[in-house]
Structure 1
Amino acid sequence: MKKNVLIIGAGGVAKVVAHKCAQHNDELGEIAIASRSVGKCQVIIDSVKAKGSLKVPAEIKAYALNALDIEATKTLIRETRSQIVINVGSAFLNMSVLRACMDTGAAYLDTAIHEEPGKICETPPWYGNYEWKHLAECQEKGVTAILGVGFDPGVVNAWAALAAKQHFDQIDSIDILDVNAGSHGKYFATNFDPEINFREFTGQVWSWQNRQWTSNSMFEVKRTDDLPVVGLQNLYMTGHDEVHSLSKHLDVPNIRFWMSFGDHYINVFTVLKNLGLLSEKPVKTAEGVDVVPLKVVKAVLPDPASLAPGYSGKTCIADLVKGRKDGQEREVLIYNVADHAEAYAETDSQGISYTAGVPPVAAALLVARGDWDAGKMVNVEQLAPEPFLELLDQMGLPTRIKDEQGDRPWNA
């Protein structure tokens, strides 16, 4: 049984992770938070204390850490006696933190595929470029590494596994639909790290169609769906992490990811891109200073964590699965609806951070209990979905199913 959690990162998602770890610290043990800014860690700790989130009395400790420094990360893992590391820092940190966990034996959990700062939209499957190269080492060392255990990727992967296990004999397509129908009241902002957010949309859009990788450009392919609670929404096909593991682990010929965007977001994004302001490549100013345009844009946009107090509305994330069961064609929508205001009331965070931050804590609990302590590197769809979804039901992210029998809880 593993115990004691080290949270790496101090953004909006890390705040949710800290609150949820605190709510279950009777099982998870001691909690530590580390990032480059120990002050940001302390703000999270203060929020946890103010909300009374700790289930049993305990101290949460803050540490300054450059997580790109593998030796420093290994030292901190040992110093804090952490057997579970939840990495919710930048995706640029993944391989460094994973290495520290492989060398110390700590379980590793993250919420996104690793990225290199100077590269965008590498050759698919993206996991094959970095994480999956360490499959054998994790297996040999018995190290548990659960990749992409946020919401998408993460929960949507578990839904796909559930669909394959319980609802279909054969799946023809999985369309992952991500809608944020909330409003933050700002002229323009991103819901998580702007640098990572924009990088998703400036390269090629990779999807899995007819059992092969297919490339499109951003905002090229559009669909409109009428979804529970949030209603009619325009969604655009984009590349995303979960497509790269689901296409490997599930026998499904078509897997696509779709995200909702309003016209205003598309217009501003297009102007920024056309001006070259979303480039990750350095440019030299007239004064001879080297700057990265994307980092400048990030610096002038609102901090995603600052959006939480005024955020209203709801999110809806779903797997639309089509295939056959008992010789009959069928369609199943597996989904969750989250509320920004409710997320803020509980964790001082907006709904996007909430949906991303709750699942890795559920996974950490399953690792602590032994249910998901796999002793190897896995993606979420390779693990039993039921205990994960049951925990999420209890922790504030209930799953529902809509099909020919109606709209109901997933396990009703």
Structure 2
Amino acid sequence: MKKNVLVIGAGGVAQVTAHKCAQNNDVLGDIHIASRTVSKCRDIIASIHEKKSMKVDGVLEAHALDALDVEATKALIARTGAQIVINLGSAFVNMSVLQACIETGAAYIDTAIHEDPLKICENPPWYGNYEWKRREACAAAGVTAILGAGFDPGVVNAYAALLVRDWMDETDSLDIIDVNAGSHGKWFATNFDPEINFREFTGQVWSWQNRQWTSNQMFEIRKEWDLPVVGASTTYMTGHDEIHSLSKNLDVPNIRFWMGFGDHYINVFTVLKNLGLLSEQPVRTAEGVEVAPLKVVKAVLPDPSSLAKDYTGKTCIGVLAKGRKDGKDAEALIYQISDHKEAFEEVGSQGISYTAGVPAAAAALLIATGEWDAKTMVNVEELPAEPFINLLNRIGLPSRVKDAAGDRDLAF
């Protein structure tokens, strides 16, 4: 049984994960939080104490760490005795942290795909460009590496696997739908790291259609949905991490990702992009200062973690499968509803961070108990979905399913 957790990162998602680990520290053991800015780690620790999240007395410590430094990360893993590393830092550090885990034997969890800061929207499948190249190294070392264990990617991967296995005899399509029907009250802000957020939407939109990669432009394809709780929602087809593993691991000819956007967000995004302010390539000012425009935009926007206090409304994230069952056309939606205010009251973060952070802690718990200790590299859809869904039901993210039989709780 593995125990002692090192959380790398100190943003909104890390705060949620740290709280959930603290709520389950009777299983997970010591909890360590590391970031380049150690004061942010201490703020999370203060929040954990304020909310009385620790289930039992135990170690809860903050550390300064440059996670791009493999040797420093290895040294911190050794010093803390961490057997499970939850990487919630920037997507730029994934490969460094993964390598440190391979060399120390610690289990590895992340919630987003690796990115090269000098490249945007590389050729699919994205996992094949970086993470999957180290699958054999993980297997040789007996290291468990769970990729994309947030909500999307993560929980939706488990939903997709369940739908293909249990709800359909033959699946024609999987549509992953992510709608935030909440309001943060700011004129403009992003719900997570602005740099990563904008990079996600400035390149090509890759989808899996007719068993091949298909390219579109951002905001080119729009679709309306009538979703549980949040109602009528406008979404746009968007490139996203989970398509790049689901297309390989599930036999489904069409897999698409849809994200909700309001007109105001699209207008601001379009202006920033057309002005070149979303470029990651450095420019030189008249004063001779070299700066990446995207980093300037990130610096002037609100810190996503600051949005939590005033956030209201709900999120709806789910997967809709269409195909055939028992010779008849069939469809089913597995989904989850989260409330921003409830998330803030429990852990001090908004609902977007909550939906990403709780699954990462659940993955750590399943590794600790052995149910997900795969001793190789896997994406979530390759693991048993039932214990994951049941655990999420218990620790804050209850799932529901809507099909021909009605709308009901999903549990096993």
- TM-score between both structures, scaled by the size of structure 1: 0.99
* CA–CA distance in structure 2, aligned partners of residues 265 and 360 of structure 1: 28
Q: Which residue of 2 aligns with 1:226?
A: 226
Q: Which residue of 1 aligns with 2:238?
A: 238
* CA–CA distance in structure 1, aligned partners of residues 381 and 394 of structure 2: 20
Does 1:144 pair with 2:144?
Answer: yes
Name the SS for the 1:133 alignment partner: helix
Q: Which residue of 2 aligns with 1:8?
A: 8
Q: Which residue of 2 aligns with 1:363?
A: 363
Q: Which residue of 1 aligns with 2:350?
A: 350
1:106-117 maps to which residues of 2 (within 5 A)? 106-117=106-117
The Cα offsets for residues 76-107 of structure 1, whole Å up to 9 and x where unpaired, read as 00000000000000000000000000000000
Q: Which residue of 2 aligns with 1:95?
A: 95
Deviation of 1:168 after TM superposition, in Å, equals 1.1
Q: Which residue of 1 aligns with 2:376?
A: 376
Deviation of 1:411 after TM superposition, in Å, equals 2.8
The Cα offsets for residues 261-319 of structure 1, whole Å up to 9 and x where unpaired, read as 00000000000000000001000000011000000000000000000000000000010
Query: Gaps spanning 5+ residues in structure 1: where?
Result: none
Deviation of 1:59 after TM superposition, in Å, equals 2.9
Q: Percentage identity across aligned positions?
A: 71
Q: Which residue of 1 aligns with 2:84?
A: 84
Does 1:323 pair with 2:330?
Answer: no
1:73 alignment partner AA: T
The Cα offsets for residues 165-213 of structure 1, whole Å up to 9 and x where unpaired, read as 2111111100000000000000000000000000010000000000000
Q: Which residue of 1 aligns with 2:30?
A: 30
Q: Which residue of 1 aligns with 2:172?
A: 172
1:164 alignment partner AA: V
* CA–CA distance in structure 2, aligned partners of residues 294 and 250 of structure 1: 36
* CA–CA distance in structure 2, aligned partners of residues 281 and 170 of structure 1: 45
Name the SS for the 2:208 alignment partner: strand
1:5-404 maps to which residues of 2 (within 5 A)? 5-404=5-404
* CA–CA distance in structure 2, aligned partners of residues 406 and 203 of structure 1: 39
1:38 alignment partner AA: V
Point out 4+ residue stretches in structure 1 off by more than 3 angstroms: none
Query: Gaps spanning 5+ residues in structure 2: where?
Result: none
The Cα offsets for residues 114-171 of structure 1, whole Å up to 9 and x where unpaired, read as 0010100000000000000011111111100000000000000000111122111111
* CA–CA distance in structure 1, aligned partners of residues 19 and 32 of structure 2: 12
CA contact (8 A) 2:389 2:411 kept: no
Name the SS for the 1:332 alignment partner: strand
The Cα offsets for residues 318-342 of structure 1, whole Å up to 9 and x where unpaired, read as 1011011111110101000000000
Name the SS for the 2:81 alignment partner: coil
* CA–CA distance in structure 1, aligned partners of residues 411 and 307 of structure 2: 34
2:191 alignment partner AA: N
- TM-score between both structures, scaled by the size of structure 2: 0.99
